[in-house]
A and B are shown apart, each in its own frame.
Chain A
């Protein structure tokens, strides 16, 4: 990716999404800077999933605009932006009938990726990163939830996305898996990617996040940097109450 400006950026303005007769997200203004991990918090139904879906361009906003690396959604279209987003969701999104490496290979081909030593090498490297090298030739249907989650993470990180959306990324992971995932997230943070994570496990979030965005009933309840004095849990309680 562009070496001169390593910092990616995601910006939303008056981002609004309505379903039928109610709003899931109302006029959200926010800027997410590259190289920062943003914790996205809020009670159930606050609009977290909707925001994730909007940022990943799976949903089209009812109103408002979205920029990734300065390119507006309404101008370049969803398909261009989509390629710059990595998404880890509630579901693992892996094909059970394919092996781990075939899963990654499929998406590598869809994203049109290339590697100096061939795609196989790229896939092997990425599997190594998430600790799945040994399971590379096994069909994913036999994977535990934690292994599938690792594969899902590897899939999301495959194209080195500008924006990384992590919706409950630590589900099913063991201690070692969480540590690996954290390391990966930090690696991509160092690369300058925008990282937005949402999890109910506040202790991990506390460790990795730099800023926080709290949603309440589709509106912004708090946004700003985290400080040493204010713990994430406290902040969350205060802004949601």
Chain B
């Protein structure tokens, strides 16, 4: 009878997340030191330019999250494996978290640097539309229940949504060709930027891992509950 219950034992909670969390926390402190003390003051934008060290890595990781979500969704559509769907969901959620960072720090920077909260500029627009698409994805996944049709709907949304961005970018670039002042990075700034990127990658991987695990465990739990109802019934 027990063979019926092999719904995949959830992996033992390992100590690894704690290690990585500590590393990430330490990294954050290091990032602060780098951003606020080590990095030289930029000439024209001065203090507000330091937002950039958080903003840019977040934007990259936000994109990464959404692209990974789309890739995993495509795999899910083709192979119908639950784990791909769980991974796609986790990627979208982490991407959205970084997206919130990008879309709040971006206007803060823009207001101080350009005098406006928002500018119809390719990168901003692209990010905003991508964020909207994946916010829709998240809303549907959170409130639509967790049935295969909803998973599929989400997957299709992600698969269509991510390549969309290329179009938006090309279109807006053509429309509003002015690129923002490309900041000439001094070597120290470069060091700070890449260290921040590294630290954010650690945080990203950690968050993704935790999230993915949670989704997988929730699925294991509902599979277990299902088997129980089968045995009990």
* Residue ranges of A at the interface with B (Cβ–Cβ < 8 Å): 18-23, 26, 217-219
Contacts and interface: CB of A to CB of B under 8 A. Distances in A.
A19 B233 contact: no
A21 B225 CA distance: 6
Contacts of A19: 147
A26 B226 CA distance: 11
Chain B, interface size: which category? under 10
Query: Among B145, B222, B233, which residue has the most Cβ atoms of chain A within 10 A?
Result: B233
B146 A218 contact: no
A44 B222 CA distance: 24
Contacts of B222: 20-21
B230 A26 contact: yes
B51 to A, nearest CB: 44
Interface string B53-69: 00000000000000000
Interface string B217-233: 00000100110011001
Interface in B140-156: 145-147
Contact of A22 (B145, B147, B226): B226
A21 B229 contact: yes
22 contacts: A18-B226, A19-B147, A20-B145, A20-B146, A20-B147, A20-B222, A20-B226, A21-B222, A21-B225, A21-B226, A21-B229, A22-B226, A22-B229, A23-B226, A23-B229, A23-B230, A23-B233, A26-B230, A26-B233, A217-B233, A218-B233, A219-B233
The 7 closest A-B pairs by CB, nearest first: A21-B225, A21-B226, A21-B222, A22-B229, A23-B230, A217-B233, A18-B226
Contacts of B225: 21
Contacts of B233: 23, 26, 217-219
B154 to A, nearest CB: 16
Nearest to A60: B148
Nearest to A16: B230
A107 B125 CA distance: 48
B64 to A, nearest CB: 32
Contacts of A20: 145-147, 222, 226
Nearest to B226: A21
A18 B82 CA distance: 15
Nearest to A27: B230
A218 B231 CA distance: 12
Contacts of B226: 18, 20-23
A19 B233 CA distance: 15
B36 to A, nearest CB: 50
Interface string B198-233: 000000000000000000000000100110011001
Nearest to B222: A21
Contacts of A21: 222, 225-226, 229
Nearest to A19: B147
A35 B145 CA distance: 43
Contacts of A26: 230, 233
B190 to A, nearest CB: 51
Given A18-B226, A23-B233, A219-B233, 19 more contacts: A19-B147, A20-B145, A20-B146, A20-B147, A20-B222, A20-B226, A21-B222, A21-B225, A21-B226, A21-B229, A22-B226, A22-B229, A23-B226, A23-B229, A23-B230, A26-B230, A26-B233, A217-B233, A218-B233
B221 to A, nearest CB: 9
Contacts of B229: 21-23
Contacts of A23: 226, 229-230, 233
Nearest to A216: B233
B81 to A, nearest CB: 14
Query: Among A18, A19, A21, which residue has the most Cβ atoms of chain B within 10 A?
Result: A21
A188 B74 CA distance: 44
A48 B175 CA distance: 59
Nearest to B221: A21
A89 B172 CA distance: 51
Contacts of A217: 233
Interface in B117-168: 145-147
A217 B222 CA distance: 19
Contacts of A218: 233
A58 B226 CA distance: 22
